[in-house]
Structure 1
Amino acid sequence: MTRAMGAASSAETDLFTIDQLASRSGISVRTIRFYAGKGLLPPPKLRGRLGLYGPDHLARLELISELTGLGFTLAAIEGFLVTLPESIAVEDLVLQRALLAPWIPERLETIDPEELDRRAGRALSEEELASMEALGVLERRPDGSILLHGAATLSSALASLDIGLPPHLLRRSHELISRHTTALAEDLMTMFQDEVLQPYRDRGRPVAERARLRELFTRLKPITVQGVVTAFGRAVNRTIRERYTDPG
């Protein structure tokens, strides 16, 4: 009897109000209610007229945040969450979050042109804006606002523009890098899917493997990114040697 009461008490301590959920997730109460209204969160548990939320709600909110950080639209997030069973365990949601967490953190911001000029330290010309858009640093929206893909990318883009290379050359460079890195990303994702994730699913998603997979992907990301940077540097060195070494 004591054990049962202890378990019930523990379950109660895992529940929190919407204000506490907002504090733990870093997402406003208004946004949480919006997500709930869109069906992205299951209904809270009711204690009288008070709605209480649990670890599963928190895990779903964290997953939604990761998807938002990856640039998913709300409709895409809805479509993804629909594929997850309502009874999915918190541990599985945490694993999903680990698999989907951005490999390179990107903070998407919506700002106005005046704020962009302020951050750039000067009034950007139409040609500069077009170049930055082609480089994937920003997107200009029909309402005049600008979707900025992170402060770090803005600094890098401004540095590229200040070098003085023709805008068309910057665009072509970006297109080349984007084409080859996209192919690399697709090949790597296919390999991870076929060699790691699918065997895990085929084994019935063993509980004992969840934590190991989560740690694997968390540690693998920075190692892979650094490996790509190192391999590219070596490839450039090799190309220089091959092109400019005097055969005589």
Structure 2
Amino acid sequence: MDPEPTAELLTIDQLAERTGVTVRNIRFYSGRGLLPPPRLRGRTGLYGPDHIARLQLVGELSALGFTLSAIERHLERVPHSAGPEELALQLALLTPWAPEPLEEVERKELDRRAGRVLDDADVEKLVAFGVVQHLDDGRVRLQGPGALAAGLDSLDHGLPADFWQRSHEVIEQHTAALAEDLMKLFQDQVLQPYRDAGRPAEERTRLAAALSHLKPVTVQGVVTAFGRAVNRNIRERVDTEKEPGDAAG
């Protein structure tokens, strides 16, 4: 897709500086077909907004844990003719659900962030909570700071690690099913009508803006629904456990 007359064109060095992707990686991605060829001005290759947007999309997919082969498969569905707006929409489909960045830290750094010295049993409990993961070199992979704070709070309450581990497994099981159902609903009622309409340009900005609100609205809905379900479950258990004479009181 040709850029607008006012679109800024960059050399490969300028593109690397703008996006934070090395020249070597830009050339590698181009060789794998992840980027369209540059526009030639004489013998100089020039890159436009569509190249920037595509590199941002590659970076987001990589940050989400996609392998290079998976990134290639994903981008096969995004033709080289796609402009910056279409690529921005593709990025918006991913960004709202990007997790907090993972950090790999030494045990001493974990202690510093915890504000106290953690023994091996404490760390194993944090692993059970899903807060940290062991790495082969003795370091740990740490979730976001909010996860560590919640994990430390759980440590202080003294419930057995097995309880937290099994709780984590139950949550993973049910949230995976919830995510699958919600994504199918989104595909059927939002994305597919957009595709069937020919991906109208005027819909892209509106969809991208709506997607930025999807995560907080969904998370709040899950928290609210879960709270209601727990309260309902508590009431039902209390009613079931009442002695026959209690009802008269």
* Coarse TM-score class (shorter-chain normalised): 0.7 to 0.9
Q: TM-score, normalised by structure 1?
A: 0.81
Matched with 2:152 is 158
Task: Tell me the equivalent position of 1:197.
Answer: 191
Listed as ranges, the matches of 1:1-248 within 5 Å are 8=5, 10-11=6-7, 14-18=8-12, 20-22=14-16, 24-25=18-19, 27=20, 29-30=21-22, 33-38=24-29, 39=32, 40-47=34-41, 50-103=44-97, 105-245=99-239, 246=242, 248=247
Q: Distance in 2 between matches of 1:163 and 1:75?
A: 44
Say if 1:37 and 1:168 are closer, same or farther in 2 by CA, change over 3 A.
Answer: same
C-alpha separation between the residues in 2 aligned to 1:17 and 1:35?
A: 11
Which amino acid is the alignment partner of residue 135 of structure 2? Answer: R
AA paired with 2:150? Answer: S
Structure 1 contact 44–52 (Cα < 8 Å) conserved: yes
C-alpha spacing 1:47/1:151, structure 2 compared with 1 (3 Å): farther
Task: Give the structure with higher Rg (CA).
Answer: 2
1:58-89 superposed Cα distances (whole Å, 9 cap, x missing partner): 21222233323433344433432243222222
In 2, the alpha carbon distance for the partners of 1:174 and 1:96 equals 31
Instruction: Show CA shifts across 1:112-136 (max 9, x none).
Output: 3332232223343333333323333
Tell me the matched-pair count.
Answer: 236
Deviations 1:131-159 (Å, cap 9, x if unpaired)? 32333323323343433222221222122
Change (3 A) 1:157 1:170: same
- Check whether the contact 1:137–1:149 (CA below 8 A) recurs between aligned residues: yes
Which consecutive unaligned segments of at least 5 residues does structure 2 have? none
Identity %, equivalent residues: 57
Deviation at 1:168, TM superposition (A): 0.4
Q: Secondary structure at the match of 1:101?
A: helix
Distance between the aligned counterparts of 2:81 and 2:98, measured in 1? 31
SS at match of 2:141: strand
8 Å contact 2:10–2:46 — kept in the other structure?
A: yes
4+ aligned runs moved over 6 Å, structure 1: none
Q: Give me the TM-score of the superposition, normalised by structure 2.
A: 0.81
**Which residue identity is paired with 1:33?**
R
1:242 aligned partner, one-letter code: E
> What RMSD in Å do the two structures reach over aligned CA positions?
2.6
Secondary structure of 1:115's match? helix
- How far does residue 226 in structure 1 lie from its aligned partner after superposition? 0.8
Residue type at the aligned position of 1:132: L
Give 5+ residue unaligned stretches, structure 1: 1-6
Task: In structure 2, give the amino acid aligned to 1:97.
Answer: L
Say whether the 8 Å CA contact 1:103–1:222 is kept in structure 2: no
